[in-house]
């Protein structure tokens, strides 16, 4: 275990593209900024200039509330790869496509954190993809308690 | 104290809403993204669709400079809850409503860091609330030096 | 060395302005959000209201691809000040001026990470300066392996 602490561990990486879904570094686990599905470059639609215009038009198919739940599910899955849950989250970064979704987002957010109260940021932003919400979290789970 | 290191400590949480003003995780303390006042959902004004349109129209009442000072005061208060000061800050994320405020922001920023030189990011963004500036910091203060 | 762990170390600071290019805090090294050149306030152009409008019109002089390479070079230089390389990076935050540059950015990004797969976020944003891309990274390199 002492060896584990000397280097980062990457979870959910899909080589050759060098991104992980989650990484453990010391006592911390950090996830990617995630929407409600894992993006694969093959699924994307590109314009004539090579720009990404869509990952497949999911935007119309679900309600915003459903998308938030799907996004938390993706975050939970990423954390699970590294042996963590939302109860370990200490910092939560949130981005919304439309500021008017903030009220509903907050209602749903409250259901996912019963025992912990992470710090948080929420900003409106322009996404690369068909997401209305993206979430990136930092979890704190000291190695000696994970059994890894 | 060794027990403290095994789990995060949350400061300034206001249950039932699961957000803290600051969290300690190991040797780090992280704050929320903060404006010059602590947001409470009861104070907010909502439009007919439930969207937050205002936290109470503070935008017109103070100068930008006053708002920056007020924001640093809020950050200092949040850090203090976790036993830290701005001198412990290693990373400082800043968001501005108007890029033209960057020059004045920098002048004021310099007055708050005399002994330390944190890394920093500054971006223009769309806020959820009536803020012209928000700041989120990460502080580094090893537990054995805090007396906690 | 045990003394080193008790406080942060700042690299590339240029007093009196209190920002560093990189900071070590415990086992982590964090960089500034960086474009392809280090900004100095003297070089900036200001409008009549004191707003920064340009750092010197670099935007037209290089291709986007060249600017990405220049940005990674600046990040590598900042990491090197703290004894790190891109191979130590665990988290990579990216901002683009134009979402249509995302495809090309990803192609170049893949060339810089051969052994590690950091988590990542990429958002379109409004920069303070003449950048089409900015990058901020967090590296994990336990002190006992650096020889510092």
Residue B9 near chain A (CB below 8 Å):
no
Residue B48: CB atoms within 10 Å: 6
pLDDT value, residue C89:
98
Residue B3 near chain A (CB below 8 Å):
no
Q: Which of A46-55, B18-27, C6-15, C101-110 has the highest mean predicted lDDT (pLDDT)?
A: B18-27
Taking an 8 Å cut-off on Cβ atoms, the answer to whether B101 and C22 are in contact is no
Reported as a single tens digit per residue, the pLDDT across B91-110 is: 999 999 888 888 899 999 99
Average pLDDT, whole number, for chain A? Answer: 85
Reported as a single tens digit per residue, the pLDDT across A27-53 is: 999 999 999 876 665 666 666 655 555
Average pLDDT, whole number, for chain C? Answer: 85
pLDDT value, residue C57:
47
- The whole-angstrom separation of Cα A44 and Cα A93 is 25
- The whole-angstrom separation of Cα A62 and Cα C81 is 47
Span B74-100, average pLDDT: 95
What is the DSSP code string of A9-54? EEES-BTTB---SEEEETTEEEEPPB-SS---GGG-EE-TTS-EEE
pLDDT value, residue B57:
47
Taking an 8 Å cut-off on Cβ atoms, the answer to whether B118 and C18 are in contact is yes
Q: What is the ipTM of this complex?
A: 0.87
Percentage of the residues of chain B whose pLDDT score is greater than 90: 57
Reported as a single tens digit per residue, the pLDDT across C30-40 is: 999 999 876 66
Q: Alpha carbon A140 to chain centroid distance?
A: 15
Residues 6+ apart with CB under 8 A from B45: B52, B53, B54, B55, B56
Span C15-42, average pLDDT: 87
Span C8-18, average pLDDT: 88
Checking if the pLDDT of C1 tops 60, the result is no
Residues of chain A with Cβ-Cβ distance to C120 below 8 Å are 19, 32-33
Checking if the pLDDT of C111 tops 80, the result is yes
Predicted TM-score (pTM) of this structure:
0.89
Residue A28 near chain B (CB below 8 Å):
yes
Reported as a single tens digit per residue, the pLDDT across A90-132 is: 999 999 988 888 889 999 999 999 989 999 999 988 887 778 9
pLDDT value, residue C63:
92
Checking if the pLDDT of C96 tops 90, the result is yes
pLDDT value, residue C141:
95
Span C44-50, average pLDDT: 59
Answer whether A23's CB lies under 8 Å from A73's CB: no
pLDDT value, residue C19:
93
pLDDT value, residue C37:
77
Residue of C nearest to A35 (CA): C121
Residues 6+ apart with CB under 8 A from C118: A10, A18, A19, A20, A23, C89, C90, C91, C92, C137
Of residues A72 and B3, which shows the higher confidence score? A72
Query: Strand pairing of A52-54 and A89-96?
Result: unpaired
- The whole-angstrom separation of Cα C30 and Cα C28 is 7
Checking if the pLDDT of A72 tops 90, the result is yes
Of residues C17 and C82, which shows the higher confidence score? C82
Element containing residue A94 per DSSP (H, E): strand A89-96
Span A47-63, average pLDDT: 60
Closest CA to A89 of A42, A46, A132, A136: A136
Give yes or no for a cis peptide into C16 (omega within 30° of 0): yes
Chain C, 53-112: which have a CB under 8 Å from a chain A CB? 88, 90-91, 99-104, 106, 109-110, 112
Taking the CA of residue C118 and the nearest CA in chain A, the distance in Å comes to: 5
Percentage of the residues of chain C whose pLDDT score is greater than 90: 57
pLDDT value, residue A148:
46
Element containing residue C102 per DSSP (H, E): helix C102-109
Question: Who among A91, A117, A142 is closest to B5 (CB)?
Answer: A142
């Amino acid at each position: 275990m002492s060896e584990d602490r000397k280097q980062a561990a990457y979870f959910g990486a899909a080589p050759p593209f060098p991104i992980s879904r989650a990484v453990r570094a010391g006592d911390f686990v950090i996830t990617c900024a995630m929407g409600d599905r894992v993006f694969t470059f093959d699924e994307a639609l590109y314009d004539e200039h090579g720009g990404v215009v869509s990952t497949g038009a999911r935007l119309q198919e679900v309600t915003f509330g459903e998308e938030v739940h799907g996004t938390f599910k993706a975050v939970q899955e990423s954390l699970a790869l590294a042996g963590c849950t939302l109860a370990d989250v200490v910092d939560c970064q949130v981005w919304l496509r439309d500021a008017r979704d903030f009220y509903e987002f907050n209602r749903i957010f409250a259901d996912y954190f019963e025992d912990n109260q992470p710090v948080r940021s929420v900003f409106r932003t322009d996404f690369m993809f068909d997401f209305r919400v993206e979430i990136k979290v930092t979890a704190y789970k000291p190695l000696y308690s994970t059994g890894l």
